[in-house]
Amino acid sequence: MPAPSPPSSSPLPSRSPRRTKHEQVALYDHLVRTSLQLFAEGGYEAISMRRLACAVDMAPMSLYRYFPTKAHLVRHVWAYILARAAEHARAASARARTPVAGLRSFVEAFVQYWIEHPDHYWLVFSSRPSLGSLQSQEQSEDFPFEARPVFEALAELLDALPSSARASPEQRQLLAELLICKILGFLLGTVGQLMPRSSNHALLRMHLLDDIVEQVSRFDAGPAA
């Protein structure tokens, strides 16, 4: 389910500062999608508050009411992308007939999302070093936990497994985090191009899915530290 592309030739109409809630949601969505388009065309450096304001026909100072800094903007773009990836994977898992098949379908669709949207992968997973200064601010500012939809979906799928009854909440959380690490490792090797060009990505993905299914069937997060 590809993320929609922002309109290329339809600037936002001039409005008063007092927008309705619906208009605010539509504007926010338009700003985020336009930021994605800027990144696709010119990379991380192409995303700037001034360029974004120009692209949506908006005064730069008005834009700062929504995103105080570029870092805030990029964090919200991350949240937007991860929510879409989780939504795409949820839709796939909903068609499965068993809990295990649902989890496998979720992981497969989640991985496929990033394969089909490599620019989204690079924005989410390669721009973070550029925003390292935010780490000290996260405790005091309202930054979203952008990966929450992914963890919530995984938690629901794990809870539905028959084997989850013998696991504690801490064990279920640990297993969800371990699965995310495995998925991200696969994406780094494939979309991130860490693996040799001769690698069989399809075979690697099949083994990743088989490994995850085997692990969750035993509900095993590995040996305790």
Provide the percentage of residues in the chain whose pLDDT is more than 90: 41
Same domain, 141 and 50: no
Q: Cα–Cα distance between 145 and 218 in angstroms, integer?
A: 29
Residues with Cβ within 8 Å of residue 115, at least 6 apart in sequence: 190, 191
Q: Is 126 helix (H, G, I), strand (E, B) or coil?
A: helix
Q: Cα–Cα distance between 102 and 208 in angstroms, integer?
A: 15
Domain hosting 40: range is 16-67
Same domain, 83 and 183: yes
Quick one: which of 143, 126, 6 has its CA closest to 69?
A: 143
Same domain, 33 and 86: no
CB contact at 8 A, 120 and 81: yes
pLDDT grade for 3, boundaries at 50, 70 and 90: very low
- Tokens representing 104 are 């496998």
Is 9 a domain residue? no
User: What mean pLDDT do residues 20-45 have?
Assistant: 86
User: What mean pLDDT do residues 204-222 have?
Assistant: 87
User: DSSP letters along 170-204, please?
Assistant: HHHHHHHHHHHHHHHHHHHHHTT--S-TT--HHHH
Each residue's pLDDT tens digit, 142-181: 445 678 899 999 999 999 998 888 888 888 889 999 999 9
CB contact at 8 A, 46 and 4: no
Q: Could you tell me the pTM of the whole model?
A: 0.79
Quick one: which of 65, 53, 50, 41 has its CA closest to 11?
A: 53
pLDDT grade for 40, boundaries at 50, 70 and 90: confident
Same domain, 84 and 139: yes
Q: What is the C-alpha radius of gyration for the chain, rounded to an integer number of angstroms?
A: 20
Same domain, 111 and 37: no
Average pLDDT, the chain: 82
| pLDDT tops 60 at residue 137 | no
Quick one: which of 121, 102, 119 has its CA closest to 111?
A: 121
Same domain, 84 and 58: no
User: What mean pLDDT do residues 193-204 have?
Assistant: 91
Same domain, 25 and 127: no
Could you give the C-alpha distances from 221 to 76, 178, 210, in angstroms and in order?
A: 31, 7, 15
Q: Angle at CA 49, nearest 5°, toward 45 and 53?
A: 125
Q: Is the dihedral of CA 218, 112, 125, 61 positive or negative?
A: negative
Identify the pLDDT of residue 223: 55
| pLDDT tops 50 at residue 64 | yes
Q: Cα–Cα distance between 185 and 172 in angstroms, integer?
A: 20
Identify the pLDDT of residue 147: 85
Same domain, 83 and 176: yes
